[in-house]
Structure 1
Amino acid sequence: MQNLGRVAIVGGGVAGLTLALALKRAGFHCSIYEKHRLTDEGSFQKRASGFTLWSYAIARLIEWGVDLRDVGIELEQTEIRNQNGELIALMPVGDASRKFGAPSYEIRRGDLLAAILAELPPETLKTDHTCSGIREHADSVELQFASGKRVQADLVIGADGIHSAVRKQVAGDVPLRYSGYSGASGVTRCTHPDLPPQTHVDVWGRGGKAGMADVGDGNIRWYLTWKGSAESPKSLDEILARLEKWYAPVHAVVSTTPKEEIIQHSYYDIAPLREWVRGNSVLLGDAAHATTPFAAMGANMAIEDAWELATAFAETRSVREALQKFENSRKKRTEEIVRHGRRMSRLTQLHSPIAAWLRDQAFSHMPEKEMEKVAVAMAAGE
């Protein structure tokens, strides 16, 4: 396809920015409309968060020219521990990733967005644009913004997250499904002797889960989850009280985080959509297939989406054909990952002490070869 016309991407998160970069590399131009303003650090998020990017997603970013040398930390291993801190499994992520020619990373979200933005023309990103909806016309799509502004486009890509305004026009009213779990996360500047370099520690508790990982520059990202109502924010003191009998390093790391830097979460996903495409509008990332964080795949799926959609545009003759090819190639896989996230939420946070003990025994006796297979599958995005 030689020309896409006026392309408008709604949302400047991982999905929107990586798609813009993939389109640029394929010779297409676009504009991104993001509701937030950039902070002084070049991010849309005032409070820091992070995630794991697996080898196959990192390979795409490198191919698109993103400079990751000073962004995040190459991940060598994931320790899985029980609530008491006993090691029950070790995933050799580094060895698995090297099979695919690119490392897996622990990375702060803001650092990744800044690295991608550095590869885009400055005029691509338009901040302080809150999209309130879209309207399809015979030969164009009108974007409507909360400010009253209107923009005409030939193609609209909704990459505006789980609360997508574009999705309502494409797929109708889609209720969010509460997972039964809430949580908190943060990034804190500290070190701990029981957190080895280039290591992600995952703590599978009883009725909750915790984790922490080195993300570089003397920072550790952490997260906690617990079973509860969707509207149950907790103070730092309440969070620390939950951790008193947990693996001690988690309590120590969380306690160094300033209260104002802690992000509270209620974890939702969405049921599979009947369609991702309507007219000349398409959904991408969490707008199309929001999942809970328990599959550790959200940002990776967004990068996959960007690759698949840009490839579809390059390999087809019309926009409609490309959009349908993209939807057909992605729906089955993303639906399975959403289901996997729900399964992992239950497995890693069992309430029954007996069930948790049986789980821990099963993983602690798993042969090394089996854990290597798990690590390879994660690195490959399988």
Structure 2
Amino acid sequence: MRVLVVGAGVGGLAIANGLLGKGHDVHVYEHAEALRTTGAGITVWSNGTAALRELGVDIEQLGRPLRSLRSLADSGRLLWEADLDEVTEKLGSPTVQIPRRTLISAMAAALPAERLHFDRRCVAVAEHPDHVEVTFADGGVATGDLLIGADGQRSVVRKEVLGGDPAKLTGWASWQGLTRSELPVAYGHQTLNIAGRNAHCGLIPTGDGLLHWWFDMPWQEGDPVLGVAELREHFRGWPDPVDRLLASVTDDDLGFFPHIRHKVPQVWGGARSTLLGDAVHAMPPAVAQAANQTMEDAWLLTQYLGDVEGAPADLLRAYERERRPRALKVSRTALFTSAQRRTPIQRLAVFPKWLATRSQVATLRAGSNVLRALTPPRPGISMA
């Protein structure tokens, strides 16, 4: 089948790799003039690395393997720590931190250059009994058998085929960056999360001396966008190395991202179209699963479209029916986790390492289609 993909981000490039591997004629259309390699780091959990590996993209040597996930209170008190080496052993795939630009470049490099079309902004979609058409801002038209909307939270494809409301603000935002650092945490293998009331931050080694850092606080449309000076004041006295990190960065290093969430619809497309990733289930980053859920989408859709004998609409709806419960579960968990960040920190429980590790395994599996298919649960691990 000739498959049109709108969007050359993580989801668009992932599905293109998967479907080309199944023998489909795939073309990716991107509104920008080149690959969009901005952004900070991406934590690719066991479900994401498994999905990418199945799609033909192995990132294990391109990023920083993470072996521990540690959470502190803003007083410095240890809340919990999960052993990610044990998570890897139980789920069969590692957790890797990787710069977004490296991930995007690797997925694009795996595709023949003629499959990527830049400066093609989708403005309209028309579905017909035997084909689908995409119209671009320059007046050009592309025709195919199927259309996949991978064009992010402001998806034109979603608007064209489903209508409905755009993603809504959740009341939180992130200030984040990816910078070279001399701090020891940048050369380790541990994610450090620090939780305060109405504020959270994190530091994640990303390889080659790069450190991905983020600061989350409540934010509403119309509120000021803080600079580094305001962040230094707000987070003054937090556990080491927060003060040292903020002393080392400037406003030029800051990226600002309001948190959003889509209502996940029952049906994700038309007779010859569907959606994946942020186009259908944008979610706040509280559980760091947005990109991983996108990779899950691409993997499962590739499995269904490997059966080229089925009617397109039947294959697409089957993909959506199987994928939606997992994506919805993760989206709800992300929203709940974000809301819980207003809980007074002294009320947060302390968990033993074995329980935090087991919880991480169960949580990843519960929101994953690929892990459930590739690694059957061991006795004693919840499949909720």
TM-score of the superposed pair, with normalisation by structure 1: 0.90
The residue aligned with 1:73 is 64
Q: Deviations over 1:153-186 (max 9, x none)?
A: 2211000011100001221132322111122111
1: CA distance, partners of 2:116 / 2:243 = 39
Report runs of 4+ in structure 1 exceeding 6 Å deviation. none
2:82 aligned to which of 88, 91, 105 = 91
2: CA distance, partners of 1:167 / 1:255 = 42
2:117 aligned to which of 119, 122, 126 = 126
1: CA distance, partners of 2:262 / 2:20 = 30
1: CA distance, partners of 2:231 / 2:144 = 46
The residue aligned with 2:361 is 376
Structure 1 counterpart of 2:263, one-letter code: A
**1:249 Cα deviation after fit:** 1.2
1: CA distance, partners of 2:55 / 2:329 = 27
The residue aligned with 2:288 is 296
1: CA distance, partners of 2:364 / 2:325 = 20
Aligned: 1:100 with 2:91: yes
Could you say what the CA RMSD is over the residues aligned between the two structures, in angstroms? Answer: 1.8
**1:130 Cα deviation after fit:** 1.6
Structure 2 counterpart of 1:144, one-letter code: T
Aligned: 1:262 with 2:254: yes
The residue aligned with 2:329 is 336
Q: Which consecutive unaligned segments of at least 5 residues does structure 1 have?
A: none
1:358 aligned to which of 332, 336, 347 = 347
The residue aligned with 1:247 is 239
**1:196 Cα deviation after fit:** 6.2
**Are residues 100 and 35 of structure 1, via their aligned partners in 2, closer, same or farther at CA, if it must alter by over 3 Å?**
same
1: CA distance, partners of 2:292 / 2:89 = 18
2: CA distance, partners of 1:257 / 1:130 = 35
**1:37 Cα deviation after fit:** 3.0
Q: Deviations over 1:115-153 (max 9, x none)?
A: 111211111111222212212233222212222322222
Query: For the Cα contact (< 8 Å) 1:54–1:381, is it kept in 2?
Result: no
Determine helix, strand or coil for the equivalent of 1:230.
coil
Determine helix, strand or coil for the equivalent of 2:193.
strand
Structure 2 counterpart of 1:23, one-letter code: L
Query: For the Cα contact (< 8 Å) 2:83–2:353, is it kept in 1?
Result: no
Query: For the Cα contact (< 8 Å) 2:97–2:206, is it kept in 1?
Result: yes
**Are residues 196 and 80 of structure 1, via their aligned partners in 2, closer, same or farther at CA, if it must alter by over 3 Å?**
farther
Q: Deviations over 1:237-296 (max 9, x none)?
A: 122222113223123224433422311111111112132021211111111111111121
Determine helix, strand or coil for the equivalent of 1:128.
coil
The residue aligned with 2:380 is none
1: CA distance, partners of 2:32 / 2:364 = 32
1:33 aligned to which of 10, 26, 29 = 29
1: CA distance, partners of 2:297 / 2:60 = 24
**Are residues 280 and 307 of structure 1, via their aligned partners in 2, closer, same or farther at CA, if it must alter by over 3 Å?**
same
2: CA distance, partners of 1:190 / 1:381 = 35
TM-score of the superposed pair, with normalisation by structure 2: 0.90
Q: Which consecutive unaligned segments of at least 5 residues does structure 2 have?
A: 368-384
The residue aligned with 1:305 is 297
**Are residues 100 and 194 of structure 1, via their aligned partners in 2, closer, same or farther at CA, if it must alter by over 3 Å?**
closer
Aligned: 1:206 with 2:191: no
1:8 aligned to which of 4, 7, 10 = 4
2: CA distance, partners of 1:327 / 1:63 = 19
Query: For the Cα contact (< 8 Å) 1:284–1:305, is it kept in 2?
Result: yes
1:287 aligned to which of 265, 271, 279 = 279
Determine helix, strand or coil for the equivalent of 1:277.
coil
2: CA distance, partners of 1:10 / 1:195 = 36
**Are residues 252 and 148 of structure 1, via their aligned partners in 2, closer, same or farther at CA, if it must alter by over 3 Å?**
farther
2: CA distance, partners of 1:268 / 1:192 = 31
1: CA distance, partners of 2:131 / 2:333 = 37
Query: For the Cα contact (< 8 Å) 1:51–1:107, is it kept in 2?
Result: yes
Query: For the Cα contact (< 8 Å) 2:270–2:313, is it kept in 1?
Result: no
Query: For the Cα contact (< 8 Å) 2:185–2:204, is it kept in 1?
Result: no
**1:79 Cα deviation after fit:** 0.7
**1:220 Cα deviation after fit:** 0.2
Aligned residues: 365
**1:375 Cα deviation after fit:** 2.5
User: How does 1:228-247 map onto structure 2 within 5 Å?
Assistant: 228-231=219-222, 232-247=224-239
Structure 2 counterpart of 1:164, one-letter code: S
Identity between Structure 1 and Structure 2 (%):
29
**1:24 Cα deviation after fit:** 1.5
Query: For the Cα contact (< 8 Å) 1:277–1:327, is it kept in 2?
Result: no
Aligned: 1:138 with 2:129: yes
Structure 1 counterpart of 2:100, one-letter code: R
Q: Deviations over 1:89-129 (max 9, x none)?
A: 11111221122332111111111111111211111111222
| Most deviating of 120-129 and 130-139 | 130-139
Structure 2 counterpart of 1:24, one-letter code: L
**1:379 Cα deviation after fit:** 4.9
2: CA distance, partners of 1:200 / 1:37 = 34
